Amino acid sequence: MIELILFGILAATYLLVIVKRMPALIQGFRYQSFFIFLITLIAGLTENQPGLLIVALLILALKVFIIPFVLNSIAKKISVDENLGLLINAQLSLVVALLLTYFSWVFSGMLGFNNGHISIAITVAFSVIFIGGFLMISRMKAFTQVLGLLIMENGIFLFASFLSGGMPFFVEIAIFLDVFVSVIIMGLFVYRINKLFTHIDVNKLSRLRG
């Protein structure tokens, strides 16, 4: 069961690198977050940890519903062009994502994770982190880079959960609140950029230097 959910997280991550439209990218983040909700919920139930159950509900509320809703609302408000502005096309991006997954598998083995679903989970976690970083540098829209950061945070959460059996409850709550506030701040920042320069293409913004 855990392996199937981990496969779902990885499949949703691959979906994120091949989509070409902003609504599809936000939806892909929602799918990825839903699978992380499932894996956290199962961990909370099997380990009888009420703290993990609360964290699972927070993931469901914040990352599956509230954050995608906020991002969609901001995108509509500032009339974001649905085209993501790909520096690397979807096909090549998928190849890069597969290579990053292979690198993650090798790296997890170097760290001593060689057996069972822990090895798979750590490989998936590193893949999500690396692919999130790849999205941040391979897409020209500032809005996409905000999502790349959120995707990386999903990977960090997954890694910490399997590495330590779940982070301390209050640390998890603090991280969720920090992420949520960061989304609001970054959304306002993107809105301000769009208002001043009429676009959020970072490639065009870089020409303003010097």
pLDDT per position as a tens digit, 146-171 = 788 889 888 888 887 777 655 555 45
The segment with the largest mean pLDDT, out of 80-94, 118-132, 189-203, is 118-132
pLDDT value of position 198: 47
Pull the structure tokens for residue 153: 């945070």
177 or 105, higher pLDDT: 105
Tell me the C-alpha distance between 203 and 160, whole Å.
Answer: 34
pLDDT value of position 202: 46
Are 151 and 16 in contact, with CB atoms under 8 Å apart?
yes
Answer whether 0.85 is exceeded by the pTM.
no
pLDDT value of position 2: 85
Residue ranges of alpha helices (H) inside 19-84 are 22-46, 50-58, 67-77
pLDDT value of position 13: 96
User: CA-based Rg of the chain, rounded to a whole angstrom?
Assistant: 17
Pull the structure tokens for residue 200: 């959020």
Question: How confident is the prediction for the chain on average, in pLDDT?
Answer: 79
Task: Name residue, tokens 């949703």.
Answer: 12
Helix axes 2-18, 22-46, angle to 10 degrees: 170
How many helices (DSSP H) and strands (DSSP E) are in the chain?
Answer: 9, 0
Looking at the chain, the whole-number percentage of residues with pLDDT higher than 70 is 72
Tell me the C-alpha distance between 63 and 172, whole Å.
Answer: 14
163 or 67, higher pLDDT: 67
Tell me the C-alpha distance between 18 and 54, whole Å.
Answer: 33
pLDDT value of position 200: 45
Helix axes 50-58, 22-46, angle to 10 degrees: 170
Q: Band of the pLDDT at 185, cuts 50, 70, 90? A: low
